[in-house]
Every structure is written in structure tokens, then in C-alpha cells.
Structure 1
Amino acid sequence: MSKWMMGDRFDTVYPHKGSIKALWETKWKFCSQKSIYPFHDGSFEDFEPIFEKLIADNINDPFTDAYTKTFLPIVDNLEKQATQALEYGHPDRAADLYRRASVVLRIARFPYVSPTTRPDNAIKRATFDRQKDLYLKAASLWNPIIKEVIIPHTHRAANDGPSIPLYVRVPNEASASNPVPVVLLMTGLDGYRPDNSQRTHEIINRGWATVICEIPGTADSPADPADPESADRQWTAVLKYMAQQPEFDMSRVAAWGLSAGGFYAIRAACTHRTQLAGSVAHGPGSHHFLNPEWLAKVNDHEYPFTITDCWAEKYGYSSTEDFIKNSQKKFSLVETGVVDQPNCRLLLLNGVNDGVVPIEDCLVLFNHGGAKEGRFFEGMVHMGYPNSLPVSYKWLEDVLSPNITEVKN
């Protein structure tokens, strides 16, 4: 019997492993039909022919150029249709087509884009850049729009980059005389700035602004992935920028870390506790997910592809073996004592059967630092979807707008 709370699943090889055919037929086809992770905002009609071709051509490795290139003809067609729709005066249709194209590009560059462009990941980086371009074309037609803001990294050190790119969406009614609460979204290992449309819709509908930023070691983050404290410097710079926006109410700022971003939501709840009214750590790792015993089995679990190689690069290791051996001592929020500090209000959310990061990573935090809040969903996997989303929004409403009229999710 496994010592992990997920029980016998810990030693189970999940049925979608081994081939694109198995992944599509046992997992991703359903996700695509329902427009749920990682196909949220996408259309099944776009993906079905792509996966039929991947299966027919026996392309099983998502890290190859052949995998990514299979998606691009569909993108080309959607982009062409979007351009024509704009020319004929149909901006809503154009926005919809650009959105669909950007979701196809999301899966094409899935599962991971490194901040460093190398020959072996150049096509993923180029695909991500195209995704951002088409996504912003869609978002520029929304009301209110999403805009990209590139700010100086005012607290950079050592190997940090010079600037931090953000996506910002602000309610039309926000102004210096009517400042609004702000949700700082911290993205994940495979979900980046262009992958959070529904969250921004929900946030805007509540009268709040949102600022979206990528986490160290992913996408466009300038933070040194090998330095555990680089995230602290990044959030300090981002919060400094936010404080300079008169339409933001800095007394009502909440962080929301998604999956791998949940790790940073926990950390920020401690390191930036005086600047945050609250923090949601959604599907977070904190300590045990870096345990070599866990890492020896995690690639067999629910994540669509191999995850340890991506984690190794994300945390600044040159080899997966070095990551597995040494990362817990260096990055664990327990080992480093980060969570022994006081914290702002902190909500921990996850599924009890999470096979990406163990539920133990939430439970261990109740024995460290300040008081925590938690909601854990029996029988559910990573992130606790879909049941965790209403809990997230209700908690944020209580923190940011306790007098708000209830909004249905």
C-alpha cells in the first residue's frame, strides 16, 4: 500500500500514456469536446483533424518539430478567415477566429516553452510568439481589451532579465476616482499569459482588474530560474508597477497562482504579505513534489507528457538527474523556511487524487507559519476542476469585494 494519500494510483501507469492515440482517445478527445484544460476556449472541429493526422503519421513525441508543424495548417486557415472577417466588417467573428487559432497554437507549443531560445526548442518559441500575436489580435477586439505592458525589472539582480511582460485588463469604469481591486494571476508550467481568457472574463465581470505574469523558468519571465529568490524580485517589480496605476486599489490586491504558479502564490503570501490582501494557491506544490520518490513516478500519472524534464529546465537545472537529486533542498518552501514566516490570507485548493503534485503539499503547510484556509476535493485530480473554480471566486469576492452582489460562475 502506498504511503501517499493518492493510494495505489501512485504506482499506476495511467491509460493515456504511451502514444498520441492513447492520449487522444482516453483523455484529450473528451477535453477538446468539452473545451476544458488544456483545450479551454478551443473548438473540437479544429483539433479533430489534427489529432487524426498525428495518429496516422505515428507522431507521438510532442517535443519534436513534426508534432508542432502538424497544427500549423489549421492555424493558417483560421488566421486567413479572421483577416477576411475584419476586412468585411465583422470584428466579433474575427475575434472568435483569432481566439480559436491561438488555442490551436497553445497545443502546438505544448507542454513547455523555455525563456531561453535554443535550436532544440526554437519551433516551440516561434509558435508561442505567434500565439501571443494572434491572441492579442483577438483580445484587442474585446470590451474591455487586454493589452500587453512591458515594464522594467526595477529589482533585477544577477541573472535576471531587464524587463517583465504583462497582460493587463481593466474594467471600463476604473479610474483614479474609482480605483478597483486587482487580481495578479501567476501562470503555470504550460499555461501562460494568452491562456487565461475565461479567468479574465470572470474577473472583469466582478469589477476587478487583472494583471497576468509568467513564473520563473517559463515563457517570457525574466527571473533567473536557478535562483529561488528571483520570483520575489519579480513580484516586487510588478507590484511597484501596479502601485503606480491610479485606477488600481492597492489595498485590495490578491494573487492567484495556477498549478506551478501555486508554488509562487504560497511564497508571495509570505514574502509579500503586507502588499497582498490574499493569495490563492491553486493546485500548488510546496515540498513533497520535489521528493525523489515522487519524481520517480510522476511521469506515469495524469500529466499528458513527461513532466520531469520540463520541471528540471524550469528550475534551472542542466540535467533531470540533478534536478531530481537536489531540487528539494534548494527550492522546497518547507526546507528553506519560507512558510515559517507569517502569511496574508492564503487559500489552498486541490484535488485529493492529484498525481502531478501530491495533496500532501497542501496539508504540510498547516503545520508552518500563519493560519491557512483550504478546500480539497475527494476523488478529483490536479487543480480539483471543475468544483474548485466556484470556491476560488467566492473566496476572492470575500477578500476583495465583500459587499459584491453574487456573480454566477
Structure 2
Amino acid sequence: MAPWILGDRFDTVYPHKGSIKALWETKWKFCCEKSIYPFHDGSFEDFEPIFQQLIAENINDGWTDAYTEKFLPTVTALEKEAAEALSSGHRDRASDLYRRAAVVLRISRFPYVSPATQGTSSMKRAALERQKQVYMKAAALWKPHISEEVIAHTHSAGRDDSHIPLYVRIPEEASAQHPVPVVLLMTGLDGYRPDNSQRTHEIVNRGWATVICEIPGTADSPADPADPQSPDRLWSSVLDYMASRPEFDMSRVAAWGLSAGGFYAIRAACTHRDRLVGSVAHGPGSHHFLSAEWLSHANDHEYPFMLTPALAEKYGYADTADFEKNAQKKFSLIETGVMDQPNCRLLLLNGVDDGVVPIEDCLVLFNHGGHKEGRFFENRMHMGYPDSLPVAYKWLEDVLSPNKTALKN
């Protein structure tokens, strides 16, 4: 590979690596204060004491039970306060507290929860299960609320499971007589169904519905992580379900893949081009991010903890070395020829300085298949935040509601 666009930072160990103290003080404290990823919807007052305790006890590995355990007393306290607020008739206060508790649980189960842990005693899995319960208590108090729908995986094959859990949020004005556009959110490596509140607010405020689905190899996804074609079956089942809902205008469906989900948004833009009017791949990998050269340095970059063990399991590998050696040939959208097909409208968004997936993974796509659109943000890291979000919403407005006055972001 020629020199990476990331430049000298490709060979750099980022300053937050090595300890929970470094992570908190050089990276996460700022994110928490600003309520940005991964602390979106969270409250600084909930997290500061937790991280001070982690630092004091020298707990540095986010993969451990010791790390997760330190978050749980705060969750219990927030849940208790929320229940008291709800019993006193303070619904907004209760919703806010349940939401905060769900965010604390999100950080507690970082960096990754595998579908393989379902039904086990894994503490990360238990934290995710509790997060979903607490989150739905908050979401049930919203207007419109979020519902969980568990649908049949009608296109399942091989090692796929039989059912797909979804979160669905529909504007109150939607009906069979007034069907609305739909955004299919494809989640990421560490962000799952209960981690997209602000996006669903923005989406329903534009008069669109949203369906949230986890990607293969993460959380509750039924798709076989080791089968490169399992996502195609997954989206076919989800889109068939959506077509059964009279409130959904199936002539105006767009996908939006987030981080690791961006890989699937690109793939779906080709494999399901006749069922989507557009697809946003936000912070996506496509080819180079699975190369042995890139993966040899990925753990040193901006991801908060070790990245390659999570990616390996997410793609169905029991051994990280096997993943690093063989995943590109098996899964790359270039190597497998997926990108040489036509595609629906496809918007690529990312920061030029992304250290999780290289910006080259967006650029290489312009040499394959149909036309692509892209916005890449200088001096921005993974996902291109905060500049990329207004671009995503404006593009979706143009695709889904071209004759409607745009909302301000």
C-alpha cells in the first residue's frame, strides 16, 4: 500500500492508549462534557465519579468484568430515582433519568457485545439486556414512542437464526392513507438499537419513520457473521416486513449505516438497489480496513480499547490472527466484486483523519460500479463529526422529501 492519507499518524500510538486515566483525561472526558459519542444523551455528573473510581483502582481494561461492575451502582441509583419520579407523575423527569441510566449501561458494556453471548452469564451481555429494558422505559414515555418488533427472518439460511429484533418509531400522523418515508438505520460495532435516540428524534420530526436493526456479528443480530451473504438475507427479511406495514411508503426507503454499519449500507446500495432510493454510508469501511497492514496498527489509533478482537469476532473469526490474514479476501466489497454492480444513490461520509477505517475505503469506491456521492471532512476523525451530520440530514431530505421545506439541524 502506498503511504496512507492518515500520514504519520498511521504509525502513531494515540495519547489515550495505555490506561483508563489517559483515556478519560485526553479523550473521553471532553466527549462526556459535550455529550458526544459515545456519551451522547449522557450526563457528565453520572460519569465523572465512575471514572475517578476506575482510575483510583487502576482498572484499565474495558473488556473486563471489573470495568463493567463500577458502572452498575450508578445505574441502580438512576433507575430508583426514575421510578420515584414516574410514580409522582413526573413523566419527563422519569424519561430523562431512564435515558441517562441507559447511557451509563452503554459505556459499561463497551467495547463490544457478541450475539454468541445470548443466554450466557457474560457481564457485558447482562449490561446490554439491562440497557434495553431501561431504554424502553424511557422510550415508552416519548411521543411518538419506540416499539420493539421481533419479526421472522423469512430469508434465513445456513447458520442464521430465525428471528430479527427491531426498534420501530413511526410519526403519529402516519397511516395507510398517509404512508411516510422510512429510514433503515444499520447500527455499528459498539452502538446498538438503544443508542440512536437523537437520530430517531430528527427522523420523526421530519415526518419519516425509522427501523433500527443490528448488523451481523453484533448484539442481537441473527445473521451468520461468518457468511458474507448473510446481510443480504437480513435486509431482504427486514424490507419484506417493512412492506407489510401500510404506514410505510416503500417507494421512499433509505438506508443509513453507522460506522461498521456503513459497510452494510454500501453493500445494500448494490444488492438491494431496487428497494432503496438512497443509502448513506457514514464512516464506512469497504476494503483496506480489512488489510493486514491496516489492522496491524488499528489498535493504536482512535478507538478507545483494543479494536481487532472485536472486529475478528464480529466477522465470525475465533482467532484474531486468522482474521487479520484472511478477512479482506473473504469480505472486501472490492475483492468480492460487490462494488462492480450498479447501485442506488449512495452518499459516502467520513473524516479524512479517520484512524478506525481509512479514508481510502471511501475513495476506492469511486473507481467501481455506479456513480457515488461523497463528503469528506478535513481535520475530522471517524465519522467526520460534527460536520457530517447536517450533510447526512440534508441529503436524506433531498432523497426522501424533495418537495418539503427543509428543517434546520
* In 1: Cα distance, 2:375 partner to 2:404 partner: 22
**Counterpart in the other structure of 1:109:** 109
The gaps in structure 2 that reach 5 residues or longer are none
Is 1:138 matched up with 2:138?
yes
SS of the residue aligned with 2:71? helix
Alpha-carbon separation, structure 1, partners of 2:203 and 2:39: 20
Correspondence for 2:241: 241
String of CA shifts for 1:254-289, please: whole Å, max 9, x gaps: 000000000000000000000000000000000000
How far apart, CA to CA, are the structure 2 residues paired with 1:69 and 1:110? 12
Distance in 2 between the 1:5 and 1:320 partners?
26
Contact 1:2 1:10 in 2 (8 A): no
2-structure distance, mates of 1:382, 1:286:
14
Structure-2 residue corresponding to 1:83: 83
TM-aligned CA distance change 1:119 to 1:155, over 3 Å = closer
Distance 1:339 1:229 in 2: 14
Q: Secondary structure at the match of 1:24?
A: helix
Match for 1:186: what amino acid? Answer: M
On the 8 A contact 1:308/1:320 being kept in 2, the answer is yes
Show the 5 A alignment for 1:336-347.
336-347=336-347
Where do residues 196-345 of structure 1 align in structure 2 (5 Å cutoff)?
196-345=196-345
Mapped to 1, the partners of 2:15 and 2:245 lie a distance apart of: 49
Closer/same/farther in 2, CA of residues 242 and 118 from structure 1, 3 Å limit:
closer
CA distance in 1, matches of 2:97, 2:403: 37
2:28 corresponds to which residue? 28
CA–CA separation in structure 2 for the residues paired with 1:33 and 1:178: 41
Question: Is 1:339–1:369's contact at 8 Å kept on the other side of the alignment?
Answer: yes
Measure the CA separation in 2 of the matches of 1:37 and 1:404.
Answer: 30
Distance 1:96 1:80 in 2: 13
The aligned runs of 1:116-127 (5 Å cut-off) are 116-117=116-117, 122-127=122-127
Deviation string 1:267-318 (CA, Å, 9 cap, x unpaired) is: 0000000000000000000000001000000110000010000000000001
Query: Which residue number in structure 1 is paired with residue 94 of structure 2?
Result: 94
Per-residue deviation, 1:408: 1.0
Number of equivalenced pairs: 409
Q: Which residue of 1 aligns with 2:74?
A: 74
Q: Secondary structure at the match of 1:130?
A: helix
- TM (normalized to structure 1)? 0.99
1:6 maps to a residue whose letter is L
Q: Which residue of 2 aligns with 1:183?
A: 183
Q: Which residue number corresponds to residue 19 of structure 2?
A: 19
User: Take 1:231 and 1:120, find their aligned partners in 2: how far apart are those partners?
Assistant: 25
* Residue in structure 2 matched with residue 54 of structure 1 by the alignment: 54
Distance in 2 separating the partners of 1:301 and 1:249: 41
- The one-letter amino acid of 2:50's match is I
More displaced, 58-67 or 111-120?
111-120
Amino acid at match of 2:21: K
Alignment of 1:367 onto 2:367? yes
Structure 1 residue 403 displacement after superposition: 1.3
**Secondary structure of the corresponding residue to residue 117 of structure 2:** coil
RMSD: 1.1
* 1:121 shift after superposition: 7.2
Offset, 1:118: 7.6
Question: How far apart are residue 406 of structure 1 and its match?
Answer: 1.5
Structure 2 counterpart of 1:405, one-letter code: T
CA contact (8 A) 1:189 1:260 kept: yes
CA distance in 2, matches of 1:382, 1:164: 28
SS in structure 1 of the partner of residue 176 of structure 2 = coil
Alpha-carbon distance in 2 for matches of 1:89, 1:385:
37
Amino acid in structure 2 at the alignment position of 1:21: K
Q: Report the 3-state secondary structure (helix = DSSP H, G, I; strand = E; otherwise coil) of the residue aligned with 1:85.
A: helix
Structure 1: tracts of 5 or more residues without a match: none
Which ranges of 4 or more aligned residues in structure 1 deviate by more than 4 Å?
A: 118-121
1:120, CA displacement in angstroms?
A: 8.9
- Deviation per residue, 1:199-255 (Å, 9 max, x gap): 000001100000000000000000000000000000000000000000000000000
Pairwise CA distance, 1:405 = 1.3
